[in-house]
């Protein structure tokens, strides 16, 4: 009934507007955080804000390109795209360039490109492709292992390149798996393990063990009907205690000192005031500056380009991972809640659209997009405000950087394309 050209342009404008809002507001804040002295020209590409404007320009070209492909293309070529991304990650070990101790960039002339930003959408496509296969059943262990392998390969490669922050993002796919049928017990186990880990670090193994025993014992006594063998409970208990012990060991020996300190700061483990003072100048410096900048903004902020801490470059990495502190200082509570609101609306909108997809591929992919954006949003803003330990990942569409911006744009617009195509699918 619908004519061809009408079908073609049925893009979800709400998502696009939310995207544009983030992109535009992000640019203003990058301008604020990166300018030094007077701004002579917005297109001055020797300045970061000038470069970012170029990135934004290219982003629109990229969008046109993505939307011009047939929707089917992404499903058909998902495996190939994934393969290219993995090869790009492997290639880093040979051709990569060290920046800040992480080997995550290709240098092309004066430009650098970070393949891990592109590996996200590639992985999301591959996961969608695998799960949407008719043969796949997420309830079976075999498929669970295989799909885990799909995300494990890029995650491991990124971890080996010393970019632990980006590795954590791949945990986002847990939400996808759960949506697609992963057993509830995994969720319970995951939550329990997180709780156990935090407990062991904060209160020590002994207290954790006592709490665990109490909890398991009460489960045993209250579930009279299908209680099963007592041996199961003892095994569970032992597993928990050894996990708790393992966490402690890993914290003490497996982590690098700066990672250890970040966690220690977050859980307030350090009691020695002299050491704490040292940490304030090292690991906690960013966080303290960032929190102060946000606090100093008050309700309505100091005004665009008027942030004294932003202008004085008090917050290191403010244009990239700590961009949210600029929003806090210059736009105040009104600005920060606006950004939080936009992100929440964007993610909810994607989830809503994903649920409405007719093809499983589109749905799974949409879920992947929402999950990845969600994890970035949570970790980045949580970190900048001191709610979670410092993990260096960018705020989507907001932070400075070409690779990040393009990676997220591709991620989002492939879904917009898939979504626009849903009425053509039966």
Identify the CA nearest to 411 among candidates 175, 117, 149, 171.
117
CA distance readout (Å), 291 to 82, 332, 381, 382: 39, 12, 11, 11
CB of 309 to other proteins, least distance (A): 5
Q: Is 25 in the site for other proteins (CB under 8 A)?
A: no
The pair of structure tokens assigned to 129 is 């492709």
The pair of structure tokens assigned to 365 is 């992919």
Using the contact rule CB under 8 A, the part of the chain among 19-27, 41-49, 129-137, 290-298 near other proteins is 290-298
* One residue of 328, 392, 401, 402 binding other proteins per CB under 8 A: 328
Q: Is 299 in the site for other proteins (CB under 8 A)?
A: yes
SS3 1: coil
Beta strands in 17-156 (DSSP E): 97-99, 102-108, 111-113
CB of 198 to other proteins, least distance (A): 16
Q: Is 192 in the site for other proteins (CB under 8 A)?
A: no
Identify the CA nearest to 410 among candidates 121, 15, 23, 20.
121
CB of 180 to other proteins, least distance (A): 8
By C-beta, is 37 or 228 nearer to other proteins?
37
Using the contact rule CB under 8 A, the part of the chain among 46-54, 71-79, 199-207, 365-373 near other proteins is 365-373
Identify the CA nearest to 15 among candidates 423, 346, 336.
346
d(CA 145, CA 126): 14
Using the contact rule CB under 8 A, the part of the chain among 93-101, 220-228, 302-310, 412-420 near other proteins is 302-310
Q: Is 343 in the site for other proteins (CB under 8 A)?
A: yes
- C-beta separation of 121 from 414 below 8 A: yes
Q: Is 424 in the site for other proteins (CB under 8 A)?
A: no
By C-beta, is 45 or 337 nearer to other proteins?
337
Q: How many residues bind other proteins (CB under 8 A)?
A: 47
First to last CA, the chain: 14
* One residue of 22, 197, 381, 414 binding other proteins per CB under 8 A: 381
By C-beta, is 244 or 359 nearer to other proteins?
359
Identify the CA nearest to 327 among candidates 106, 110, 21, 42.
21
CB of 245 to other proteins, least distance (A): 29
Q: Is 358 in the site for other proteins (CB under 8 A)?
A: no
d(CA 51, CA 61): 16
By C-beta, is 296 or 326 nearer to other proteins?
296
User: In sequence order, what DSSP letters do the residues of 246-286 get, joined into one string?
Assistant: HHHHIIIIIS-HHHHHHHHHHTT----HHHHHHHHHTTTHH
Site residues for other proteins per CB under 8 A:
36-37, 175, 178-179, 181, 187, 289, 291, 294-299, 302, 306, 308-309, 311-314, 316, 328, 332-333, 336-337, 340-341, 343-344, 347-348, 351, 355, 367, 370-371, 374, 377-378, 381-382, 385, 387
């Amino acid at each position: 009934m619908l004519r061809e050209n009408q079908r073609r342009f049925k893009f979800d404008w709400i998502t696009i507007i939310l995207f544009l809002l983030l992109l535009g507001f992000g640019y203003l804040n990058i301008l604020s955080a990166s300018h030094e002295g007077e701004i002579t020209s917005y297109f001055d590409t020797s300045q970061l804000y000038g470069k970012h404007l170029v990135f934004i320009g290219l982003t629109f070209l990229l969008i046109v390109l993505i939307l011009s492909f047939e929707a089917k293309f992404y499903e058909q070529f998902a495996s190939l795209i994934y393969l290219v991304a993995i090869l790009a990650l492997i290639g880093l070990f040979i051709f990569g360039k060290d920046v800040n101790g992480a080997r995550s960039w290709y240098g092309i002339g004066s430009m650098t490109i970070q393949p891990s930003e592109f590996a996200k959408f590639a992985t999301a496509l591959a996961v969608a492709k695998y799960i949407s296969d008719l043969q796949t059943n997420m309830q079976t262990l075999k498929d669970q292992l295989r799909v885990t392998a799909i995300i494990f390969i890029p995650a491991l490669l990124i971890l080996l390149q010393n970019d632990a922050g980006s590795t954590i993002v791949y945990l986002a796919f847990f939400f996808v798996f759960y949506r697609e049928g992963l057993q509830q017990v995994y969720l319970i186990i995951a939550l329990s393990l997180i709780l156990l880990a935090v407990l062991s670090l904060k209160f020590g193994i002994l207290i954790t063990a006592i709490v665990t025993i109490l909890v398991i014992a009460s489960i045993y006594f209250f579930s009279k009907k299908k209680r099963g063998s007592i041996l199961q409970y003892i095994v569970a208990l032992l597993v928990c205690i050894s996990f708790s012990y393992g966490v402690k060991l890993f914290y003490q020996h497996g982590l690098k000192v700066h990672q250890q300190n970040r966690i220690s700061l977050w859980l307030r483990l350090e009691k020695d005031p002299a050491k704490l003072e040292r940490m304030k100048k090292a690991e906690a410096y960013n966080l303290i500056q960032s929190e102060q900048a946000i606090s100093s903004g008050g309700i309505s902020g100091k005004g665009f380009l008027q942030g004294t801490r932003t202008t004085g470059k008090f917050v290191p990495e403010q244009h990239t991972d700590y961009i949210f502190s600029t929003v806090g200082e210059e736009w105040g509570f009104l600005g920060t809640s606006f950004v939080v609101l936009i992100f929440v609306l964007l993610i909810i909108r994607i989830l809503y659209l994903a649920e409405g997809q007719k093809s499983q591929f589109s749905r799974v992919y949409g879920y992947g997009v929402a999950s990845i954006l969600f994890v970035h949003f949570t970790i980045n803003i949580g970190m900048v405000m001191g709610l979670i330990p410092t993990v260096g990942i960018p705020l989507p569409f907001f932070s400075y950087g070409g690779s990040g911006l393009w990676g997220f744009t591709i991620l989002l617009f492939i879904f917009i394309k898939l979504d626009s195509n849903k009425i053509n699918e039966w």
